[in-house]
Chains A and B, each alone.
Chain A
Amino acid sequence: MKTLNYIILTLLLIAVSIVGCEDNLELEPEQSLLPEVAVSNPANVQNILTGIYDEAAQIVSYGGQINLASELLANDTDLSWNGTFEQPAQLVEKQLVPDNTFVRDYWLNAYEVNNQANIVLANLDVFEDQTERDRVEGEAKFLRALAYFDLARLFGQSYEATGGNAQLAAPIVLDAVLNPNDITSPSRNTVEEVYTQVVADLQDANNLLPDANGIFADKYAAQALLARVYLQQGNYAGARDAADDVLQNSGHSLTATYGGAFNNDGNSSEDIFAWQITSQDGVNEMNTFWAGSDFGGRSGNPDVSINGSFFDIFDDVNDERSQFFYNTSGGTATTKWQSQFANIPFLRIAEMHLIRAEANFRLTTTTGLDPLVEINALRGRSNAAALGAITLQDIIDERKRELAFEGFALHDIKRLQGTVGTLNYDDDFLVMPVPQRERDANPNLMQNPGYGN
């Protein structure tokens, strides 16, 4: 009888403890939001939009490595790679392997940007204010276009103005992925298809965005990027008109000095759009690789040094741009990225002048300004003597003098059908391989020629 009592007591104790503890198993994270909350109201969707800028500004992308890839892949003798990272060394040697982690991360980051933009675009209905909705849609499309533009330029053969462009670029994915069932295994779209998507997104963005939008993308950022895209396509009229629109209407103007355009904590008058870096947020990866170690650069001091042959392009010793360098133990460093916590200019008004001048020159038009006047104005800002007459080559050289090390090198060579050393602009090894991890995860992706199967 006594035993029975104890057994009852035991069962009772256990029953009580079940009731007491079960509820505790429902825990929610304190640093994260569940998706249904994250897309539930305008403030949160706006936050996701802001998050895309942060994603795009990662070191692997516009924080610096995309620009590095363009400059190093296009390099023959002008630059030396002094760093220890093997991934950029492969760029210099044009010996990329498909498991190069920089290459992998360009791809992954571009699609992270893309998916976050898709999430925002899929949840625009939370906005009741049409103006706000338009702005958010425009920014998301600007960022998505940016991602696809570089996917096409890095992973596909160059856009041929003569048409066709059936060469493979990267898959276009426009549906938001918020749960595992949304994942697809897409095939690569053609260069033509991707450029079409980019142009469509940028035109939408240009229409939807306000004239000014603080540090975020506005109407003219979309228009300026569109000018860059058109130029890459050889659509000179489109490029000219877009650049002209920016120059006429955006309110941005050249800084008083060349140096004034760089190493700024805030945007300069010249910045149509810049990646924001502060000591508390973001990393200026351009500084990491291009600055001496006393200024925050890596141990190559600098990892990318500028060789003597580069300076051949200058035609005037007083040109401020030819003196925008300093010496450290590893060689000559560019001053453009000397400040560790400065913004990274992305769309400068100087580029718009160069685009408009080049397009006008090619089309023998003078929309906005005569090309000679425009080029001399730009030279004048850097104390370079005015030219009496110009050729297309002068404009191209001016472009290099002005925009060196800002990520234009590879794309200009491809556009102008130049060479890198002995490699023709359309050489297989001036295109990145589709990352190995991506092909391991998605069998529908064909590899680029030259990188095995």
Chain B
Amino acid sequence: MKVNRYKLFVLVFFISSIALAQQRPISGTVTDSKGLPLPGVNIIIKDTNRGTQSDFDGVYTIEAADGEIIMYSYLGFITKEINVSNQNEIDVILEEDVSSLEEVVVVGFGTQSRRKITANIASISSDQINEIPTPSVQSTLTGKAAGVQVTQLNGKVEGGIKVRVRGISTISSSQEPLYVVDGIPITNADESINDSPINPLIALNPNDIESIDILKDASSAAIYGARGTNGVIIITTKQGKRGKTKVSLNSSYGVSSATNTRDWLNADQYVELITESALNVGISQAGIEGQFDFYANGLDWRTGEVDTDWQELALVDGSVQDFGVSVSGGSEKTRFFMSTAYNNTDGIVRGNQLERYSFRTNIDHNLSEKFRVGTNSSISKSIIDRISNDNAFATPLQAIAQTPLSPAYLADGVTPNNNTTEYYNFLTEEFNGNFKTNIWRILANVYAEYQILPELNFRSEIGYDLLSQVAERFSGSLTESASVGGFGTTNTVQTEKYNLNNYFTYNKVFNDVFDLEGTLGMSYEDSFRRAQFNQGQGFPSDDLQTLNSAAEIVAGGSSRTRFNFLSYFGRATLSIADKYLLKASLRYDGSSRFGEENRFGWFPAASAGWIISEESFLNNSAVVSLLKLRGSWGITGNAGIGNFASLSLFQGSPYNQRAGLAPTQLGNPALKWERTTQVDVGLDFGFLNNRISGEIDYYVKDTEDLLLNEPVPGTSGFPNITRNVGEMKNTGFEFIINTKNIVSQDGSWSTSLNFSTIDNEVTKLPGGDIIAGRNIVREGETVSSFYVVEFAGADPANGDALFIRNTVNADGTIDRSTTNNFNEADRIIAGSPYPDFIAGLTNNVTYKGIDFSFTFQGEWGASIYNNGGRFQSGNARFFDNQTTDQLRRWQQPGDITDVPQARLFSTNGQQASTRYLQDSDFIRLRNLTLGYTIPKDVTKKFYMERVRIYFTGFNLLTFTDYDGYDPESTADFNGDSNIQVGETFYSAPPAKTYTLGINIDF
């Protein structure tokens, strides 16, 4: 009844509003300042819901009454309002909004307008960054930039993140891009003490970031010379703006869980399968039941008294709490931005947690009209509750190997059962141990800028970066360290980096046609790392966990290492009549890391662009708003190798507390950076006043002088040496299309789609194949391809595992027959750990106070090898619990299945083969945000400028045929190996998070 009354009210309201106005049709044409008609302009009568759009010729008609106001709005133009008095025809000229066109892109040592760049640079703005509820900055880039693959190793909160810009250009050096924060290259070295990497950028508060620009092609990255090959990620933090002081507050809370769980045998299924497996190898029924009795620790497994779900104990519900306040503003002379934030992320893997406190002050002050000084400084502290790497019994997810017959706890319900579990019970770690890592990070820089001449500017900046970490681990008397009475480790690291940049910039327009910009300068960078550690054992009590109480200090050490770079660089860009763009740059880089014979190198780059749409034949076009053709060429390097890789070295190697020496590496005085020549051709386009815009790029990245840890005959006494051999090629298309589907007074809808292909090929490998584990580097193939024997299921006759021989016959054909002898089958290239196609799709919708956005991310072409498969899905070869798919094992002659006969303690198909290799294509709803901004007239009453309430979901949906935990989660203990990739080993899936939050601006 109530509802009906409301409807009636609305109806009456509408009728009365029609009755009140004396409307008549008004028509006209909308054009831009050049007189070109503008189609699709939104034309609305202010404060009403009446509106229309101009047609293709810019012509419109709208009903309006005297005294009403017509609003003309169009993206990229300044909105115009016209009062209706007596006119019947109103022609309108809209002025271009210059500020919106001149989007600025941060390049190394300066900025440039996007319109004029000739390079390929992807930019991500703060509003996109803030939407992702994750403590890791890099995760905000996933799916947002073409050709950039961002993967968090696994579900640990502090976990390492791999960022790959335009594929893999190296085998032995670092694959990570160079990170530059406010002009200063920062330390990006993982300092984890247990092989499971810690994201070095965990210390950065994503909410402090204004923009992230990714220099992808050589013409932009070459200004960073020997470190440009993997791309450069330039992070710019927020600056205050002149005007009223703004206080912003953000608070959010979310809950999280694993994106996926797997199906494991329950107690009954376990008993069935293991019993069969035991009987098959001649173990008696009584014998195997005795084993079950042992596991059950006095409980009756026959009646279901015990059925432990170990997965449920390992993967738990997590949470994310985020709170931040910032104050920004400024006067004519001084601008400032200050912030503080707190983040508390409870991981989805038991015992894993992160807390971070961060503070930032950015100040910018004009001493005089010509002299400007400033600072960007941040301090943060992160406290991480860590867990073991994936390759340890102590890591939670290895609990899925435990049998469901073992109770998790002893009869007291509190003490973890370690008496009758198959493996060490990970619950003991939390119960009787402690593993904390504290990280303090200071990022600070001070700069001065002086305008020598109106066209000549000098800037000097000094940066300081300190990463200080203390990792402390204690394993008590019930843990794996029981035999020594408890074990403690303290490990500290301080990595300092100084950076000095001095450079001139020059900018002058000659004859109104030639716009010249130049940069010339030098940079010096010095990084110094100190590390100390101590280990002790024999603790009087599990409550005394510092090494002061250790009965014996059993290990200790300290080390110092250092590297530096000295560089000179210059860049000139020339734009002629805003149509023809030319750029050239040169960097001269020297580093202590390289061999004496090759200490310095030149890194040139050049690029050109032609803004076709500025030509007379196009500049009047109503359809084409931007058409820019650009091409670039450049040489970059990769210096991501050890600090002293060029030297032959002997290291301390004591024996029985007596000094000793042992050779540790074979040097190579000719060692130098890897050299990448990259060519990029691109087209930027915009149609219908940039309602549709985008970029198409094609690049070829040729890397030579690959630094390879080339395996050498072990008979030399060394497993490998580092050499500049080998060549690799990456090619790819990148396609970006942005559309503004709806642009109106009340709302908008825009879509951004990017996709890219990546084709990697090792083109020269003089030393022959490099094989590490299940991966191979082979000429003509994608780097790190999977190299395993081909599995062919179970022999229907006897249940033996079968493999395809794949040996070469005398006539050159391949023998595709099967064998049950693993050693008779040859390995084949069976897949790649890298996707060859990645895509991202983002939609933004606003309607009145509501904002809605979501991003899908997809990757195709990669595979994952489950190195734990031999234990988890190995037709009950061990007592390990099995995935439920193992129930379809071969049981009797005639059975057709891919799971061989179960044979306890007897190998039958558990060897490394395609059995454990699977495609990992996926599409994922990466994030989804729904926000509502309360109308200003309401919030004003409470002295608030803006109040927004939002919901954000992260990793909400995953579409994949992959059977493992997650198509993005891989093992974390091969972190340093570039070759052993794409393997999972009890690796936790990432978190799926639901967050509610509020933004308030005062």
Residues of A at under 8 Å CB distance from B? 2-3, 6, 10, 13-14, 17-18, 21-22, 24-35, 37-38, 44, 47-55, 57, 81, 84, 86, 89-90, 93, 95, 97-99, 107-108, 111-112, 114-116, 118-119, 170-171, 173, 177-180, 182-186, 215, 276, 278-282, 293-297, 299, 329, 340, 435-438, 440-442, 450-452
Contacts and interface: CB of A to CB of B under 8 A. Distances in A.
7 contacts: A10-B504, A28-B644, A90-B907, A115-B718, A183-B718, A215-B656, A452-B824
Interface residues of B, number: 89
Contacts of A183: 666, 712-713, 716, 718, 721
Contact of A6 (B452, B521, B668): B452
B883 to A, nearest CB: 17
Interface in B448-474: 452-453, 456
B715 A186 contact: yes
Given A33-B650, A53-B655, A86-B870, A178 B663 contact: yes
Interface stretch (B230-238, B477-485, B756-764): B477-485
B740 interface: no
B539 to A, nearest CB: 14
Interface stretch (B188-196, B418-426, B728-736): B418-426
B906 interface: yes
B483 A296 contact: yes
A97 B910 CA distance: 12
B749 interface: no
B661 A51 contact: yes
Interface stretch (B326-334, B379-387, B559-567): B559-567
A296 B479 CA distance: 11
Contact of B552 (A10, A179, A279, A293): A279
Contacts of B905: 81, 89
Given A17-B522, A48-B662, A293-B483, A185 B502 contact: no
A99 B824 CA distance: 14
Interface in B407-450: 419-420, 422-424
Interface string B641-674: 0011001111111111111111110111000000
A89 B907 contact: yes
B858 interface: no
Contacts of B871: 84
B768 A281 contact: no
Contacts of A114: 715, 717
B829 interface: no
B599 interface: yes
Contact of A177 (B592, B643, B653, B716): B716
A33 B647 CA distance: 9
A6 B655 contact: no
B393 interface: yes
A431 to B, nearest CB: 13
B828 to A, nearest CB: 14
Interface in B541-569: 552, 554-555, 559-564, 566, 568
A184 B718 CA distance: 12
A179 B667 contact: yes
Contact of A173 (B524, B552, B661, B716): B716
Interface in B678-717: 711-717
Contacts of B68: none
A186 B713 contact: yes
B566 A25 contact: yes
B537 interface: yes
Contact of A119 (B644, B663, B715): B663
**Main SS of the interface on chain B?**
mixed
Contact of B561 (A29, A35, A294, A296): A29
B483 A295 contact: yes
Given A34-B648, A51-B661, A299-B480, 16 more contacts: A10-B504, A28-B644, A32-B651, A50-B661, A51-B662, A53-B656, A55-B653, A97-B823, A119-B663, A179-B648, A180-B723, A276-B655, A296-B484, A440-B768, A441-B711, A442-B715
A56 B678 CA distance: 48
B716 A115 contact: yes
A29 B552 CA distance: 30
Give the most central of B537, B643, B717, B718: most A CB within 10 Å.
B717
A392 to B, nearest CB: 34
A452 B821 CA distance: 10
A191 to B, nearest CB: 17
A437 B716 contact: no
A89 B524 CA distance: 55
Contacts of B424: 293, 299
Nearest to A25: B592
A38 B648 CA distance: 10
A10 B662 contact: no
A179 B669 CA distance: 10
B663 A21 contact: no
The 3 A-B residue pairs with the shortest CB-CB distance in the complex, in nearest-first order:
A115-B717, A51-B660, A50-B660
Given A27-B563, A27-B592, A294-B483, A93 B649 contact: no
Contacts of B592: 24-27
A30 B561 contact: yes
A17 B661 contact: no
Contacts of B656: 53, 215, 276, 278, 281-282
Nearest to B652: A31
Give the most central of A3, A89, A279: most B CB within 10 Å.
A279
B337 interface: no
B771 interface: yes
Given A48-B662, A440-B768, A452 B561 contact: no
A22 B590 contact: yes
Contacts of A115: 663, 716-718
B593 to A, nearest CB: 9
A209 B656 CA distance: 20
A348 to B, nearest CB: 19
B837 interface: no
Nearest to A340: B483
Contacts of A48: 650, 660-662
B294 interface: yes
Given A17-B524, A55-B653, A29 B644 contact: yes
B559 to A, nearest CB: 5
Contacts of B654: 50, 54, 281
A299 B420 CA distance: 11
Given A31-B559, A50-B654, A282-B655, A3 B453 contact: yes
Interface in B740-780: 767-771
B564 A50 contact: no
Nearest to A104: B714
Nearest to A292: B483
A111 B912 CA distance: 27
Nearest to B537: A279
